[in-house]
Amino acid sequence: MSELLNNTTHRIGTLKSIIKDLHKGQSPEATKAKLRELVQHCDATEIAQMEQELIDDGIPVSEIMAMCDLHAHVINEILPDPQSLDPSTLVQDNNPLPPGHPINTFKQENAAIDRQLELLGESFAKLAKAPEDGSLTPAMETLIETRTLLNELMDIENHYQRKEHLLFSMLERHDIAGPSTVMWAKDDQAREFLNQLHQAVMQEGVTCAEWKTIIPVVARPAFVAITEMVFKEEHILFPMALKTLTEIEWGDIWTQSPQFGWCLVDPQAGYTPPSNQTTGEPTLPDDLPDPSAVSLNLIPPSAGRAKPLPGAIMFPTGALTLEQMISIFSNLPVDLTFVDADDRVRFFSEGPDRVFIRPKAVIGRKVQHCHPPGSVHIVDEIIEDFRSGKESVADFWIEFQGRFVLIRYFALRDNDGKYLGTLEVTQDITRERALTGERRLLQYDEPKPA
């Protein structure tokens, strides 16, 4: 027992051995006793480190996900009344979290999610009590209530996206990448079950007898997945994040959160981020060169019969100031994202109507960690084909939120053919796809601003 109490490395090694035993076919019941003893001495960062080491050892994410569920069940047995949804139970730097702190908001949302599931359960119970005469339910108001509650719960996507794109991004800066893979995969499971439930409840013409059959089949998996994710966040993710992230990083998360939106509740007032984090800019080193001093010196200053403006960046075909470049990238009818040769996101454009949200927190993040685990293999295949020179372009087109979206990937190489990275170009081509005939005369689609 003493080695468990005093040796972090030993505890992590023991956790790994338990999961490998499960991977080899040992029953969960046989490992539960050892896990029960161990989790009483482990903290959340050790769980994350163990998950990362298992991933590095080649254990399938599905196996680690199964362990994550078992671990959560054991904690639940040990802590029968954890009060995990009380936003005041977590502290940072020995002080209770102020209202509006990102974790406080996450916890407020979890409490609201828990209550929403309770209300949905009551509404489903009303539907299930409808008479078995084969007719449509006479209590149409109950069905409307159920659909309203479920539509509100669909905002859980905002909660998951803030977690995946902001909180995970910051943890990865501290080499904690396990949650990005394992917990994101569990999020996707919850999404799938919730979407199935939503599709079922939105059906028209369902009889009372059919409701009694449908509800238990589609509602229970969604409720279980969402409830278990709340538990994992409260007991593993949030404590680990508070122990790991800096005040500046919490300020970054607070600043970048509104673009994703909230789930069931709005942030409370009371949290003040570090003063230099209120502009929405990413945290950058202090020793970066002044952009006005940047010059590629590829063309003479007098090219085009006019000297470039002070601080202009020289290109083979002209010169642009930083302000001009920002304006150009912000007004292109496409969204650009550049991933360097080390597979890290280094730049993205900010247009007025991006197809996919890109928070500044992804800068420097491995591109594989910016995608759901289920699609990472496609990302890896594209990059490997580009890096090897086998391919140079990959095209995709999808229907997304009522828009027809074209997504293109281009391999970038220097003059010697060395791979420099990948450029992603995303464009909503709904309008372009519908064009017919010709337009040869000047005609504005919208009134010209005064």
Report the range of poorest mean pLDDT among 110-114, 357-361, 442-446. 442-446
Whether 48 shows a pLDDT value over 80: the answer reads no
- Alpha carbon distance 373, 375 (integer Å): 5
CATH number of 332-450: 3.30.450.20
Q: Count CB neighbours of 271 within 10 A.
A: 18
Query: Tokens representing 220?
Result: 């229970």
**Residue 58 per-residue DSSP state:** T
pLDDT digits (tens, 9 = 90+) for 374-418: 889 999 999 999 999 999 999 999 999 899 999 999 999 999 999
In this structure, how many other beta carbons lie within 10 angstroms of the beta carbon of residue 355? Answer: 18
pLDDT for the residue numbered 300 = 43
Question: At a CB cut-off of 8 Å and minimum separation 6, what does 323 contact?
Answer: none
| Strands (E) located in 27-167 | 91-92, 95-96
Q: What is the pTM of this model?
A: 0.76
The encoded tokens of residue 194 equal 């919730």
* Residue-wise pLDDT tens digits, 200-237: 999 888 777 777 788 888 999 999 999 989 988 998 89
Query: In the prediction, which pLDDT does 222 show?
Result: 95
Mean pLDDT on 338-367: 92
pLDDT given at position 130: 64
What CA–CA distance (Å, rounded) separates 250 from 353? 26
The distance from CA 138 to its chain's CA centroid, rounded to whole angstroms, is 41
**3 state SS for 156-201:** HHHHHHHHHHHHHHHHHCCCCCHHHHHHHHHHHHHHHHHHHHHHHH
Instruction: Give CATH for domain 91-277.
Output: 1.20.120.520
pLDDT of 61 reads 65
* Region of poorest pLDDT, from 66-75, 98-107, 154-163, 299-308: 299-308
Helix (H) or strand (E) holding 61: helix 61-78
Question: CA–CA separation, 428 vs 432, rounded Å?
Answer: 8
Contact 351, 331 (CB under 8 A): yes
Strand 95-96 relative to strand 91-92, pairing: antiparallel
Residue in the block written with tokens 């992590």:
12
Query: What residues does 404 pair with on adjacent strands?
Result: 399
pLDDT at 443: 86
Instruction: Give the span between the Cα atoms of 292 and 309, in whole angstroms.
Output: 10
Q: Which residues have CB under 8 Å from 254's CB, separation 6+?
A: 100, 101, 102, 271, 273, 277
Q: How far apart are CA 108 and CA 75, in angstroms?
A: 21
Q: Please state, rounded to an integer, the average pLDDT across all residues of the chain.
A: 81
Between the CA of residue 167 and those of 98, 174, 252, 374, what are the distances in Å?
A: 18, 11, 10, 20
Q: In terms of DSSP H, where are the helices of 233-273? A: 238-244, 247-256
Angle CA(394)–CA(397)–CA(399) in degrees, nearest 5? 155
Of residues 351 and 69, which shows the higher confidence score? 351
Amino acid 51: pLDDT:
66
